[in-house]
Amino acid sequence: MKNTFGSSVSVTIFGESHGKMIGAVLDGIAPGIPVDEEFIAAQMDLRKAVGKISTARHEADQVQIVSGVFNGRTTGTPITLIIANQDQHSRDYGELAYKARPGHADFTAQMKYHGFQDFRGGGHFSGRITAGLVAAGAIAISALRSKGIFIGTHILSCGGVEDRTFGDLRADIDRLNASEFAVLDEKAGASMKERIEAAAAEGDSVGGKLETAVIGFPAGVGEPWFDTLESVISHMLFSIPAVKGVEFGDGFGLAEMSGSQANDPFRAENGSVVTATNHNGGILGGISSGMPIIIRSAVKPTPSIYKEQQTIDMRDMSDTELVIKGRHDPAVIHRARVVVDSAVALVLCDQLAGRFGTDWLVSE
């Protein structure tokens, strides 16, 4: 099982949904980077379950830093972050020892780990493991901000309701990072919440799309072919359990354009090179162009629904039915946006350290 991502700056995740604790180890971060524990706590709050649009499982998610930070700054050694699990209802998952939940990793985990996996709450496959990514990502986000690089994600669509797209990027990013429910149009946000609550009342769930913007990222970072900036960002984003699609710029929309429409004309502006449009999402030839990096992620509906479903009994691979019990999200997209921010920040720190050296991330 591969649980480490990154080369120059790497993150390792560990734990299970119903185990004693979960967490992450962040390695390769340069010494001297400020670590704001209040900011880490605020980021963790953005991932927490909220009201009727989330699961009834509510965790404190208090992050304990046990190594790699001294006097409020990184030491240059591995940063170990642990988060205790305190609100498990493991009895809700007894039946799942042998019944595979549709849309979950229960069957594929059985095939790979031969019944030795921790099935409670999805074990290591659970979305709960993303809490460690958010804790580590908060440190990466802070390091990027000190270099003038800012990341923001909003719910572009959910349950068939559309938010507006990005406008003034810096203002929109600041607004999103201060929002519990990350939308740019408050009316759209209210309609999304209604749609999520309606799905919950029906024992069902909804998905949607997230749109992420990165501003201030320098040109010239990334590789052609197999380690393109798009491919490494996609690699990380597809590691988030609910993400089933990733596109950059206009993405699949480019397939419907002519070359004259899709190309982004270059021009000089205040001594810098910019493009008049940004259909390619700030990446050309696998390398950053200096324009805003625009990413969209498709988040599937939460697979844990309260309707009867067809499945199999993994003891003898016979047909059976399943009604899922326990506490589950009718949508995860509003909680996933901070996970996406964190994941992208970790990738960008790794890419920048590989291009310019690890000390580049230390603010001057």
Q: What's the pLDDT score for residue 327?
A: 67
Expressed as residue numbers, the domain containing 102 is 4-361
The confidence score (pLDDT) of residue 290 equals: 97
- DSSP output for 251-288: GGGGGGS-HHHH---EEEETTEEEES--TTTTEETTEE
pLDDT band for position 89 (cuts 50, 70, 90): low
d(CA 206, CA 190): 15
Note the pLDDT tens digit of each residue in 217-266: 999 999 999 999 999 999 999 999 999 999 999 999 999 999 999 999 99
Q: Dihedral angle at the C-alpha atoms of 345, 351, 357, 359, nearest 10 degrees? A: 0
Q: Of 202, 127, 213, 197, which Cα lies nearest the Cα of 159?
A: 197
CA distance linking residue 28 with residue 284, whole number of Å: 27
Angle between helices 37-47 and 333-356 (to 10 degrees): 140
Q: Is residue 94's pLDDT more than 70? A: no
Task: Express each pLDDT in 46-77 by its tens digit.
Answer: 998 676 776 655 667 899 999 999 999 999 99
CA distance 202 to 305: 9
Q: At 171, which CATH number?
A: 3.60.150.10
DSSP-based three-state secondary structure for 63: strand
Rounded to whole angstroms, how far apart are CA atoms 257 and 263? 10
Q: Return the pLDDT at 98.
A: 84
Write the pLDDT tens digit of every residue in 139-149: 999 999 999 99
Q: How many CB atoms lie within 10 A of CB 66?
A: 11
Return the closest-CA partner of residue 101 out of 323, 270, 351: 323
Position 19 scores a pLDDT of 79
Per-chain mean pLDDT for the chain: 92
The pLDDT confidence band at residue 150, using thresholds 50, 70 and 90, is very high
Q: What is the DSSP string of 101-159?
A: PTTSSHHHHHHHHTT-S--GGGGGGSGGGHHHHHHHHHHHHHHHHHTT-EEEEEEEEET
Q: What is the dihedral of CA 281, 245, 161, 262, to 10 degrees?
A: 30
> Which pLDDT value is given to residue 91?
57
Q: What is the pLDDT of residue 211?
A: 98
For residues 135 and 25, is the Cβ–Cβ distance under 8 A?
Answer: no
**Strand partners for 267:** 274
**Cβ atoms 149, 356 nearer than 8 A:** no
* pLDDT bracket for residue 179 (50, 70, 90): very high
pLDDT tens digits along 7-16: 999 999 998 8
The CB density around residue 344, as the number of other CB atoms within 10 Å, is 25
Residue 161 token pair: 């309701």
Mean pLDDT across 166-182: 96
Strand partners, 269: 272
Which pLDDT value is given to residue 92? 54
Kindly state the helix (H) or strand (E) to which residue 37 belongs, with its residue range.
Answer: helix 37-47
pLDDT of residue 39: 97
Residue 127 vs residues 15, 18, 218, 254, 266: alpha-carbon distances, Å: 11, 12, 32, 32, 41
Tell me which range, 197-206, 273-282, 318-327, is most confidently predicted by mean pLDDT: 273-282
Q: Contact 157/14 with Cβ under 8 angstroms?
A: no
The pLDDT, as a whole number, for residue 138 is: 98
Confidence (pLDDT) at 177? 96
For residue 283, pLDDT over 70 is answered with yes
Domain count, the chain: 1
pTM: 0.93
